[in-house]
Amino acid sequence: MIFEKKYIWISIAVSCSLLIASCSNDEPQTAGEAPLRKIELEAFQLDYLQATNKFADNLWSQLNQSEPKTVNFVFSPLSLQMNLSLLANAADGESQQELINVLLPDFGGEGTIEKLNELNHKLLQDLPSTDAKAKIKIASSVWVDRNIELKQSFGDRTQCYGSILFRFTPNTADALNDINKWFSKTTDGMMGEVFKVLPEGDVLFINALCFHHTWSRPFDSSKTKENWFYSESGNTSKVEMLNDAFTGKVFASEKAWMIRLPYGNGAFVMELYKPLENFDVSEAVSAGVGEPYDCRIILSMPKFKFTHEVDFRDVLKSMGVEKALDGFGRLTHLTDNILKIDKIIQKTLIEVDEKGTKVETYSSINMPGDYIPPSTVDFNLNHPFGFIIRETSTGAVIAMGKICEL
């Protein structure tokens, strides 16, 4: 029997508006903040989470190879994790195993989709409740052409992700309107008209992730001053720089200094990576957290806002996802039709200004004396730098990226 060939267009839409506040000491001020609620993970869930954080590290390395060095980029490993997990639930055999191996790189093929589903369900359920004042929304949906016959097994396997299955008619205004309404409804209006034109394809895997929060204490806007930013391309530009001074911890590796700035009650933080001389942003972030030192920190960082879009198809192929991408795999838990992945798109918006994000250290480096920071650190981010947004009780990576040009 010859099946009509169909195409999956996987879309991941992410909005991260990060509103940064200053700190006067190394602990977040929680007066008036919502109580901090830590996420409690079972032992296997912690192992799986650490593996998915390695997935984030691998994405970072691959994107730094594929994206131009002079381009700012930001992406959400967590959002991509959710969509690829749904795709793995639809797949079977080698196609499913390839996806699991990429999502759980440290498991040597021993990870299971069932346990990954349990971890994802835990994160979807508990991340929004760690800080009641944080606006964090994560939602997934799968839109299937009305003419494609679906299998019940996919709905059964993905119940932990919520009500995700929707029918639509490709290339129609009604479908475009329905999908944009879904974005608005599931994100409480934080995301509206995501698609101007309906993506091509008969099956759409879509994920929305929004993170809107204020820092523990806002920057003093009267201290925001214009100053020079020295871009990767060699260009210089005048930008608005946020300024503050506080006592805190600098994490020093042989390639970078890093500081953490907390949001709200401290459930979420932004890690800022400043490369040391002779190292670039990619190397700085890949070097890991490093050893902590108490210092007086003089912080200067630019305000920025940009949108970045990534097609992860080639990136994931280089990481080992081949059969589903080449059209040789089957998504037999979803349908008997032959399906091929056309694109894997993620679009992310990030914004940082005055208003305003305890991570487990998964690796540390014993530092020679030359890399111990001085008692006062000039943490001036007037040149390319990297950032990671994490949930602190688990270390889950919400978003990460780098600023190279302003």
Q: What is the DSSP string of 93-160?
A: HHHHHHHHHHHSTTSTT---HHHHHHHHHHHHHHGGGS-TT-EEEEEEEEEEETTSPPPHHHHHHTGG
Judge if 165 and 283 occupy the same domain.
no
Residues 6+ positions from 202 with CB-CB distance below 8 Å: 6, 7, 8, 144, 145, 148, 170, 339
Q: How do the residues of the chain divide into helix, strand and coil, expressed in percent and rounded to 5?
A: 25, 35, 40
32 falls within a domain? no
Which of 316, 332, 352 is the last residue before a domain boundary?
352
The most confident of 33-42, 183-192, 294-303, by mean pLDDT: 294-303
Judge if 392 and 273 occupy the same domain.
yes
35 falls within a domain? no
The most confident of 52-61, 89-98, 218-227, 286-295, by mean pLDDT: 52-61
Phi, psi of 125 (to 5 degrees): -75, -40
> What confidence tens digit (pLDDT) does each residue in 271-328 have?
999 999 889 999 999 988 888 899 899 999 999 888 888 888 899 999 999 887 776 6
Which of 316, 336, 352 is the last residue before a domain boundary?
352
Judge if 83 and 144 occupy the same domain.
yes
> What confidence tens digit (pLDDT) does each residue in 48-85 have?
999 999 999 999 999 999 888 888 988 889 989 998 99
Given this model, what pLDDT does residue 31 score? 53
Judge if 111 and 175 occupy the same domain.
yes
How many domains does the chain divide into? 2
Judge if 282 and 330 occupy the same domain.
no
Residues 6+ positions from 189 with CB-CB distance below 8 Å: none
- Domain that includes residue 251, residue range: 221-302+359-403
